[in-house]
Amino acid sequence: MERDHRAFLEDLLSTASPSGYEVPGQRVWVDYVESFADEVRVDEYGNAVAVHEGDADTDASVAFAGHGDEIGFVVREVTDDGFLTIGRVGGSDKTVVQGQHVTVHTDDGPVEGVVGQTAIHLRDADDDSAPDIAEQHVDIGVEDGETAEDLVEVGDPVTFAQRVRELEDGRLTARGMDNRVGIWAAAEGLRRAVEAGAAATVYAVSTVQEEVGLRGAQMVGFDLDPDAVVACDVTHATDSPGVPGEKSTGVELGEGPVVARGSANHPALVAAVREVADGEGIDVQLQATGTRTGTDADAFYTARGGTPALNLGLPNRYMHTPVEVIDADDLDATADLLGAVGAAADAHAPFGVDI
């Protein structure tokens, strides 16, 4: 991964953007794609779309979409003692919250805190259960509620305070890989399609509020109307200890992006992406999604009477924790594949089925 592309990824990962509070992260994404897109537009809720116009006489279009929001928390109440009670934003996991450093993102700037954890010496030795998030609290270090209310407000978003770290063999860890890697890949896929001289119109999209119900994709899917959408998101790598056998999919870090099959994933688009990957020498893994993908693909494929869609996954360990782990080579391969799909879109469109 080249230095400026890596810097873009780290900027995304270090910028908090919980669902409903995505503006700072969307600004990072827009600033990056503006340098190579013909047009960038943003709607009223912050969904961002970058466009490569392609050739005027080519009637084909494809969109690469990731979601720019992340899970997190929100301040529910400031107590008289100066502690903050919190609620979920998206699918936050109660078992990994206590004992963590967090940042409260206020209109006046960040306020640092910790999620309190009663010391092991003082807890019931027979009870190892984690309390619900609504029963946990953030300690920002003040002595009373009046002082706390001078610093934070009900409704301020809260995220884990984590930085990007390098592990061995090209692995990266951070909070919010889900789904900064998807919007990174969408942007980089667009850039690589532009460099390849794509004749088709190619869109890169960063949606909002996926983690609370695919809301942004529903908005964009109504307006955009491409021939096909590739939704880029993380998917579970099941190659680490502790994954129940019945949950294993065979997906591994370092073995390439994951092409989903079934449900929302249009068979003609699946075939086209696999053909492009084979032609480019890009290894892909397969995953079965018999009912739903759980990604923006589920919203895009029913838009405007039906839009061929595909969920292209990036293997990710420890999803929805502060220590998500991905392989940088998988991420680069995902962007390469998207760029090649954009460059070949006119040869594969339209993506209907023959009956």
Annotated binding site for Zn(2+), which residues? Answer: 67, 178, 211, 233, 320
Residues marked as catalytic: 210
Q: In b/e form, how buried is each residue of 122-155, taking b as 16+ CB within 10 angstroms?
A: eeeeeeeeeeebeebbbebebeebeebeebbeee
48-52 and 39-42 as β-strands: parallel, antiparallel, unpaired? antiparallel
Please name which of 303, 339, 297, 265 lies closest in space to residue 66, comparing C-alpha atoms: 297
CA distance 49 to 346: 20
Phi first, then psi, for residue 186 (nearest 5°) are -65, -45
8 A C-beta contact, residue 17 and residue 25? yes
| Strand-pair partners of 243 | none
Please name which of 110, 206, 207, 116 lies closest in space to residue 158, comparing C-alpha atoms: 110
Tokens of 315: 């293997």
**Residue stretches of the annotated binding site:** 67, 178, 211, 233, 320
Please provide the DSSP assignment of 159-185 as one string. EE----EE-GGGEEEETTHHHHHHHHH
The two counts, helices (H) then strands (E), for the chain are 8, 17
